[in-house]
Amino acid sequence: MPECKIPGYTELRALGSGGSGDVVLASHDESGILVAVKYLRGDLLADPGFAAMFRTEAAVLASLDDPNVVRLYEYVESPAGAAIVTEFIDGVSVREILSDQGKTSAEAALVVWQSSLLGLAAAHARGVVHRDYKPENVLVDGAGVSKLTDFGIAARAVDRPVPAGTLAYAPPEQFCGAPAGPAGDVYAATATFYECLTGHPPFTGQTADELLAQHCSEPVPLEPVPGLLRPLVTAGMAKDPADRPGDAAALVSEVRAAAADVYGQDWEDRGRSHLAEAVPLLAALWPSGTPPAVRFAAAAQVNLPRGAQGSRESRQSRHLRHQRHIRHEAHLRRLRMAIAAAAVAGAVLAVLVVSGFSRSLFGPSVRQASAASPSTPPPAAKPHPSAPVTAGSPRSSLPPSACPGCRASATPGYDEYANPRYGFTALWPSSFRAQPPPEDGGRQAWTSPDGQVLLAAYGTNNVLDYSPEQDEAADASLMSVVYVDISGDIVTVSGYKNNGRTIVYERDVVGPGSIDTLYWSYPANQKAQWDAAVTLTALTFQPGNVTTTH
């Protein structure tokens, strides 16, 4: 972790390291909202030119409040360093989707192109040019929504005629060191659209000289492009900037009209659906490697995980997996029966009123901070699920349930649970209702006020001597798996149940004596609402002593 720390935030773990600095996942202390913090490397900060460029990145992002652009919340400088705090995106880059799938559907490519053009249009309206548009700098979340990021070498229009960007997408004028302009961004976005559509960039020269010659003189190969879309690609990648649309906004309406003509009026819905299928659930929770979200120019690559790979099993191991399957299902049935019993008893479950935080949640702001003198954290609305719904509020007639081992925590909006038998600890949203614990003291469950979300933490003795690999196979058999990861003794599995209507997330810590588990189940259409809570509880889940039975 960097030596310079931003007051008002708690760092959770490293996300990656790029050419300009380190990126960490952090939680805003006042609200609990997850953010990405990008620190500038100390040796680079000593270079006035590079420090000014980093400051430019913050200024560019601060000037953009657009749903198609990753939001800047804060920029902080101190004698010890500088950093920007940005929106945390739970997703992957378009580059990773292309690396995993080769290409996207035409509708998905159009959705990415349209969103990027809208984000660029917002930048161009403020005189800001991205200058480094490429698949690595477009992030896609689990809902199939894409956002533009990394203005690391962005420049004010007609400022600094310094060549920059990735050559496969750079406009011809950029090779010559011409001033950056909106037409250059249109060219790069169109080249990326071409790659999404075909599986390769429009020009594939192996050297800079070959690419320069192709960009400057060769026509764009249009054979792979559907007929009605070819005029748009031709216009967007015209050799002369004057022959391209004046800015990204001028191209959006033409893209929409052509897409509707070729693919029907519902092309956007289908495109987002295709993108969402390519994004692994809860990518931010990957316990090893670097999550692909919050991508910066030189961040380490993480390929999209594929489905769980099958392997040969002995008859005994298949039997053990089947036994664990039965035991796990029986446990979940007991949890659900407890929830149902509360409803049958006549309890009136409150409807949780969640308020999405404003896009200007933390600002944008620029502040000077002293490493020894914390500044006041930015104002923030409370994120879901920490809205103050309590048993005593007018919205709920439920009496508080006994929760042995529960106590207040230092994390706003969350309480802490310490299991008396297995010794693990877990955070749970304060607005949730604790379910009556079993007599054996091995588990605790909580439900959202509307009863649709289940969070459970429990321990089981590893009587079948499961390895992490066997544990993963047992968990994966209970859902339609989207993501699986085994990192040491930590097993993470997420996927769908109920024909895709329910998201399930499970994290197990597997030891020779016992297995400690954190389990979430929530409606798929509420993914964006609960992902932050799932991430926070998973990152803070602490196992007990799993080397022994209990």
Query: Which candidate, 211, 225, 113, places its Cα nearest to that of 171?
Result: 211
Active site residue 132: yes
Measured between alpha carbons, how far is residue 302 from residues 5, 371, 392 in Å? 26, 33, 46
- Parallel, antiparallel or unpaired: strands 128-129 and 155-156: antiparallel
Beta strands in 319-449 (DSSP E): 365-368, 406-408, 414-418, 425-429, 433-434, 443-447
Question: Which neighbouring-strand residues pair with 495?
Answer: 481, 504
CA–CA dist 83, 79 (Å, integer): 12
Could you tell me which residues come within 8 angstroms of residue 462 by beta carbon, excluding any fewer than 6 positions away? Answer: 510, 511, 512, 513, 514, 515, 546, 549
**SS3 of residue 505 by DSSP:** strand
Measured between alpha carbons, how far is residue 393 from residues 209, 386, 399, 416, 477 in Å? 69, 14, 10, 21, 41
| Backbone φ, ψ for residue 111 (5° rounding) | -65, -45
Which one is catalytic: 132, 471, 475, 516?
132
Q: Which helix (H) or strand (E) holds 455?
A: strand 454-461
Q: How many other CB atoms are there within 10 angstroms of residue 320's CB atom? A: 18
Cis amide linkage into residue 394, ω under 30° from 0: no
Q: Which helix (H) or strand (E) holds 487?
A: strand 480-487
Structure tokens at 201: 């960039």
Q: Which helix (H) or strand (E) holds 456?
A: strand 454-461
Q: How many other CB atoms are there within 10 angstroms of residue 22's CB atom? A: 19
Q: How many other CB atoms are there within 10 angstroms of residue 190's CB atom? A: 29
Structure tokens at 488: 């040491």
Written in H, E and C, the secondary structure of 164-205 is: CCCCCCCCHHHHCCCCCCHHHHHHHHHHHHHHHHHCCCCCCC
CA–CA dist 435, 419 (Å, integer): 14
One DSSP character per residue, 23-78 reads: EEEEEETTT--EEEEEEEPHHHHTSHHHHHHHHHHHHHHHT---TTBPPEEEEEEE
CA–CA dist 495, 307 (Å, integer): 10
DSSP 242: G
Query: Which candidate, 267, 269, 250, places its Cα nearest to that of 259?
Result: 267
Residue type, 420: P
CA–CA dist 114, 317 (Å, integer): 50
Q: Just list the catalytic residues.
A: 132
